[in-house]
Structure 1
Amino acid sequence: MKYKAPANPGDGGPSAVEAMASAIAQIADVKTPSEQRPDALKTTYTVGQAFCEEPAPGSTVIPSCTLLVDMRSERTDTLNEVRDSIQPLFQAGLAAENARYGKQENASDAVTMDLVWYGLRPAFVNGDKANIALQAGWQAGMTVGVDVHKDSKVPTGSSSLNDNVPANTGVPTYNWGLASNVAGGGTHAFWEWGTRGDPKRQNLRIQRAMTAVLITAGYNLSDGTVIQPSVGPIGVRTRELN
């Protein structure tokens, strides 16, 4: 959400900064489905970013402030439940700030708001074990001898990862890490920490990544032999509605 300063700001009038702050304060009180019901799938949200434009030279008026909220769940219904709880609070923050100064919504001396971006990063579950990226990642791990899964089984779990969007649209994906930690804690908390270590494992993970890419993309050997790609072009994949 982008909160915008009044078109005709006056001294001591409503501000984009205060409208955004009011919305954040109200969003902080939202309870997720898993906090309200023990049988609900874990769902989380956070105010991921809050930032404002610099005032114009010689002005003290903040032109706009943008608020980004990130919501996560493996189920659409619980995700929508959180979103439905939060979405009205964007407007509530705006209304509260304008009401402090007795300003009418959409008036030239009132703060206004725009929805500037909305995106989905759906959780993806590896249901297709023939997925070439998944097979290449798994085989590369076995070949190099790093991060081999228990019982040599291909993992089928889901996580909040950046490849969820292409995976959900049908693009074969596989996700793994290159670094290694000797110690760490506080995952996803503001005090999260980790100490890098084990260079040997990190080198093997890089070899694994290169091996997986070659398995998928194909390559030419020094004797002239050509190893063809494991899969041909997949065409355009999109969830956008035409």
Structure 2
Amino acid sequence: MPMKPTLAACIIPFFIGSACLVQAQDEKPVAIDTRYQTEIQTLAKRPAVQSAFKTFVELEPQTRQDLISLTETASPPFKEQVRARKYADMMKAAGADSVWLDEVSNVLALRRGKGRRKTVVLEAHLDTVFPEGTDVKVKQKGDTLYAPGIGDDTRGLTAVLAVLKGLEKHSIETDADVLFVGAVGEEGLGDLRGVKNLFKPNGPKIDSYIAVDGDGIDGIVHRGLGSHRYRITFKGPGGHSYGAFGIVNPHGALGKAIYYFTQEADKFTREGVKTTYSVSVIGGGTSVNAVPYESWMEVDMRSESPDKLNGIDKLLQAAVQRALTEENQMKRAGPDLTVDVKQVGDRPSGRIEPTVPLVQRAMAVARFMGVTPQLSVGSTNANTPIAKGIPTVTIGSGGTGGGAHSLNEWWLNDKGYLGMQRILLVLLAEAGVK
């Protein structure tokens, strides 16, 4: 998911001596340690890094063509395999030491480091929100490219690819292994399945994680916005609205469940860490003269606090059971109503403190590039490693975009090469340079 809406909040910079303080929308000012500012300045002066910076500018025509090619390779939810194979071929051509697809079709491209004592992941996601059959042909109006998925997150994929090309062309050797990843299942009901697969017990060892999602060069997501999503279905026998009158009515139970839940959730979410809830989709019934045999809803709940997320989840479960009991008590004939509660989304929440070196380095790079770092919360592939306490950030890929998740999504190459320069600096600072 893109970061831009999240990062739009006003961020206030402070200056004390040589340290810059960055304030997130609901946090105290955070100092950028001068040692990380010095580290980034020293790193950026290296001749090979300077050469890579120039290469990103020279690569702009090819990066643009890669963006068009990947965008026009449809990647619907749960059907990312065709794009995955194309992206794997691009990674091989760019010079990765080894490239493979795992069992869920994540693309993994390993670039071995000299020390190999740790592994840093650089990742963007392969999937889009658009269903199979969507017209993904790229159209150009002036300098702007339009197509579903062109920014979220196809641009991220091309930025990650360009960084690999820059490293290879100038033989920049890292101390740590770098694992370049094109991940499946970031959007919607994909439920982060690609990154969750990376962190299975038998998955690769990962010490730091850099996700690339969204545009610009100032945003830094270091807090994971967790979510619980459910599809809840009340089921009964159904029947004629007159002839079967008195049987359980699933709609009655659904209405009660929504009422009881929203009444308690409203009180619960008025204090503490921001926590949200939405009964987003409802359905069921066949005819105006028929008691429905099922009634269902889909519910979304979000918070960056695991305790608050679990708390509002309990309110939902209690409301559903209360509604079920009361509807069954009202019946005059026939079998009891039943309910099926299916969790369709579980994104973990958590935070990486701004004092952690990776976050500090991302902040120092933004400051080095002349922008104010903007710390924020987001729902991205970073959620999973954040929840596990692994140093993690999500940063943008440069340029300017908008209309994410719409058919009119667009991206403008407004000094897009700065995005790759930023990613390279954060990566090299975290992975170490030999």
Compute the TM-score of the two structures, normalised by the length of structure 1.
Answer: 0.55
Deviation of 1:116 after TM superposition, in Å, equals: 1.4
Q: Hey, what does 2:353 align to over in structure 1?
A: 126
Code of the aligned partner of 1:93: A
For the pair 1:206 / 2:404, whether they are aligned, the reply is: no
Measure, in 2, the Cα distance between the counterparts of 1:51 and 1:34: 22
Q: Hey, what does 1:221 align to over in structure 2?
A: none
Q: Hey, what does 1:165 align to over in structure 2?
A: 384
Considering fraction of residues, name the structure with more strand.
2
Q: Hey, what does 2:267 align to over in structure 1?
A: 32
Cα pair distance change 1:213/1:112, threshold 3 Å: farther
Code of the aligned partner of 1:70: M
Q: Hey, what does 2:337 align to over in structure 1?
A: 111
Q: Hey, what does 1:89 align to over in structure 2?
A: 319
Deviation of 1:174 after TM superposition, in Å, equals: 1.0
Measure, in 2, the Cα distance between the counterparts of 1:64 and 1:146: 54
What are structure 2's unaligned runs of at least 5 residues?
Answer: 1-230, 242-246, 403-409
Deviation of 1:101 after TM superposition, in Å, equals: 3.1
After superposition, give the CA deviation of every residue in 1:95-131 in whole Å (9 maximum; x if it has no partner).
343344346xxxx733311231163532313255233
Q: Hey, what does 1:137 align to over in structure 2?
A: 362
Cα pair distance change 1:164/1:29, threshold 3 Å: same
Secondary structure of the corresponding residue to residue 47 of structure 1? strand
Q: Hey, what does 2:372 align to over in structure 1?
A: 148
Secondary structure of the corresponding residue to residue 116 of structure 1? strand
Cα pair distance change 1:230/1:65, threshold 3 Å: same
What are structure 1's unaligned runs of at least 5 residues?
Answer: 150-154, 183-195, 217-228, 232-242
| Contact kept in structure 2, 1:124 and 1:158, CA below 8 Å | no
| Contact kept in structure 2, 1:123 and 1:160, CA below 8 Å | no
For the pair 1:11 / 2:240, whether they are aligned, the reply is: yes
Q: Hey, what does 2:280 align to over in structure 1?
A: 49
Aligned alpha-carbon RMSD (Å): 4.2
Measure, in 2, the Cα distance between the counterparts of 1:204 and 1:90: 51
Q: 1:23 aligns with which of 257, 260, 266?
A: 257
Q: Hey, what does 2:296 align to over in structure 1?
A: 65
Secondary structure of the corresponding residue to residue 352 of structure 2? coil
Q: Hey, what does 2:92 align to over in structure 1?
A: none
Code of the aligned partner of 2:431: S
Q: What percent of counterpart residues are identical?
A: 14
Measure, in 2, the Cα distance between the counterparts of 1:88 and 1:205: 50
Q: Hey, what does 2:120 align to over in structure 1?
A: none
Cα pair distance change 1:54/1:34, threshold 3 Å: closer
Measure, in 2, the Cα distance between the counterparts of 1:146 and 1:16: 58
| Contact kept in structure 1, 2:301 and 2:309, CA below 8 Å | no
Cα pair distance change 1:52/1:147, threshold 3 Å: farther
| Contact kept in structure 1, 2:347 and 2:383, CA below 8 Å | no
After superposition, give the CA deviation of every residue in 1:186-242 in whole Å (9 maximum; x if it has no partner).
xxxxxxxxxx998637x36633564357537xxxxxxxxxxxx817xxxxxxxxxxx
| Contact kept in structure 1, 2:356 and 2:391, CA below 8 Å | no
How many residue pairs match? The answer is 184
Q: Hey, what does 2:191 align to over in structure 1?
A: none
Measure, in 1, the Cα distance between the counterparts of 2:292 and 2:269: 41
Measure, in 2, the Cα distance between the counterparts of 1:209 and 1:24: 46
After superposition, give the CA deviation of every residue in 1:150-201 in whole Å (9 maximum; x if it has no partner).
xxxxx7x66243323321113432123457599xxxxxxxxxxxxx998637
Measure, in 2, the Cα distance between the counterparts of 1:206 and 1:21: 48
Code of the aligned partner of 1:94: L
Higher relative contact order (Cα pairs below 8 Å, separated by 6+ residues): 2
- After TM superposition, the structure 1 stretch with the greater mean CA deviation from structure 2, 161-170 or 60-69, is 60-69
Measure, in 2, the Cα distance between the counterparts of 1:73 and 1:210: 25
| Contact kept in structure 1, 2:305 and 2:349, CA below 8 Å | yes
| Contact kept in structure 1, 2:324 and 2:339, CA below 8 Å | yes
Measure, in 2, the Cα distance between the counterparts of 1:82 and 1:61: 29
Q: Hey, what does 1:222 align to over in structure 2?
A: none
Cα pair distance change 1:166/1:20, threshold 3 Å: farther
After superposition, give the CA deviation of every residue in 1:71-106 in whole Å (9 maximum; x if it has no partner).
425362x44444443431111222343344346xxx
Q: Hey, what does 1:235 align to over in structure 2?
A: none
Measure, in 1, the Cα distance between the counterparts of 2:362 and 2:342: 37
Measure, in 1, the Cα distance between the counterparts of 2:338 and 2:310: 25
| Contact kept in structure 2, 1:46 and 1:69, CA below 8 Å | yes
Code of the aligned partner of 1:200: D
Q: Hey, what does 1:230 align to over in structure 2?
A: 431
Deviation of 1:64 after TM superposition, in Å, equals: 5.1
After superposition, give the CA deviation of every residue in 1:127-147 in whole Å (9 maximum; x if it has no partner).
55233xx3563354345x253
